[in-house]
Amino acid sequence: METLSISKFKATCLEVLARVKRTGQPVRITRRGEPIAEVVPPQPSADLPDWLGSFRSRGKILGDVVSPTNESWDALDP
């Protein structure tokens, strides 16, 4: 594991964070030689279940959904 002093980390913080994310290698931060923190890459996010088709067993089609309707809608009338 790479070790950086806190002053070096402060000067190169954005670069260190980008490197940790890119390589996956953690970095230990020290103050006067004593470890005070570790920068580790984020855990992979849990994949969300696929929402497409999730209600396929819950819906019911009542009647013809393809043919045009002869009913007037209030939204269309001025």
Number of structural domains (the chain) is 1
For residue 11, what is the domain's CATH number?
A: 3.40.1620.10
**Is this structure's pTM higher than 0.85?**
no
Between the alpha carbon of residue 21 and those of residues 30, 45, 52, 73, the distances in Å are 20, 14, 31, 55
For residues 7 and 44, the model is more confident at 7
* Residue 6: domain span: 2-39
pLDDT digits (tens, 9 = 90+) for 26-66: 999 999 999 999 999 988 776 666 777 777 778 787 888 88
33 domain-assigned? yes
Residue 20 in this model has a pLDDT that exceeds 70: yes
Q: Quick check: is 35 in a domain?
A: yes
pLDDT of residue 16: 96
Residue 71: the pLDDT is: 75
Inside any domain, residue 15 = yes
Tell the residue number behind the tokens 């819906």, with chain if given. 59
Backbone φ, ψ for residue 67 (5° rounding): -70, 150
